[in-house]
Chains A and B, each alone.
Chain A
Amino acid sequence: VQEDNRPRPAFDFKAYMLGKAAAVNEALDVAVSLRPPLRIHEAMRYSLLAGGKRVRPILCIAACELVGGALPMAMPSACAVEMIHTMSLIHDDLPCMDNDDLRRGKPTNHKVFGEDVAVLAGDALLAFAFEHIAADTKGVTPARIVRAIGELARSIGAEGLVAGQVVDISSEGISAVGLKELEFIHLHKTAALLEASVVLGAIMGGGSDAEVEKLRIFARSIGLLFQVVDDILDVTMSSQELGKTAGKDLVADKVTYPKLLGIEKSREFAAELLQEACSQLVGFDPEKAAPLVALAKYIANRQN
């Protein structure tokens, strides 16, 4: 990636991430409070508050602030995308799906609470994501909130997240899976929710249609980038470093970018995607765009 030489305002990425993550964690803790029936809410909170870097909520907030919105406008949406992300992980880890025992370094939800509660906790998080946006978004016109809900619903359903999971499941063990299917899986399974995160933030923040569409392309690029990097890390890192089972893609005979392109070409592809993402941010105020630029670079360069 080319670095430009213009003087840039100092941006402390680490402090930014920690600050926003803390705000998101607090908001999630309040939103999904412990109430009866306790066990199902414990299960929801177990996975939702298990840590994680909160990349999706922070993207949502950063996009909102980029187009001139204030943090509270985006916070319910930011929490909602994390609830959806958590729900998809809980259901993905189930024995009938990926059958994972470990997630973010901890036993998976169904290992602790049982499969029945894990299914229900996921469903409840999914539903609550929509309730939270619809009922708790402040300072945004109803028309924008309705539009954002439509975006979220589209991105996680059979045309989005679920489509990616379906193709992923049905391509497992099939060696003839090509680059096109692989891209379909990742654009839907990973990029769709990242896209929704950014687009919801931009809509809630009052962004123009042109701004929303630019940020959509930005998000799609970093979504794919996220997965390419994930694939590379799965080959190059240990389980301990990743906090989840490494080499699982190889064992499961899953098609990955390194398998299709080789490690080097995969790294080149990642660099292209980062370039494409950052180019979408060019017209914006560089100071306000700094968090998204840094997030894109972080996704490209992360080690776990």
Chain B
Amino acid sequence: MTRLLLVAALAGAAVGCASTAERDPRDPWEPLNRGIYSFNDMLDTAVARPVASAYQKVAPSEVRLRVRNFFGNIGDVFIGVNNFLQGKFEDGVSDWARFAFNTTIGLLGIHDIATDMGYEKHNEDFGQTFGRWGAAAGPYLVLPIVGSSDVRDGIGWGFDFYTDPLNETKPFQARWGLVGLRLIQTRADLLDASRILEEAALDRYVFQRDAYLQRRRNLIYDGRPPREKEPDDEAGDKPQKPATEEKEMHDDPDQKPR
């Protein structure tokens, strides 16, 4: 609760002082989002990054791989569910086969033998399922702690959280231990990426937001999104894109090819 209040206060402060010349139509809540973004960043600098760095130093990469596989295996259950919900039965069966093989022969998932057997890991979640069903992304949204999202994915994240198999773990100490370890592992996997982001971006908030929106659109279409109309296509003397582009602002699942 105190955390929520803190976020609200920060957000309020951000609304007060942000001088956004022109709002991006995809991000009408930018001042609020920026507030939450800097709160997350502060928390990350103070806690998550140091802990993840320490973990990376202490745990050999072999151990980290096993930890990653273990949580990845648990994730495959609902990746499969989401594939079924999206009507991709073959993929869903493959995800569950992964879970079956990795949990048994792969010793509770620490060995990803299913990949070697030809069952590729997928990336699905409820946000993608809703997108596939036709839900528009809605405004961009930065969630406290979770980070980049949008309205659709935020709701999706709620479902992901609610259906997280770790929720079933008892006693609760074990449950929070696992959740914590998964968080640390995830953050450790991101250490290089976040350093690169810092070097690459003029404005990290904008860079991360645009990458998120592009990435999610790509994921919803499983890597084959319809081409979108670039607002600036006619500009520039360089390469002419084919004339087959659809007129589309950014994230319009109505145009999905199915």
Query: Do the two shown chains form a genuine complex with each other?
Result: no
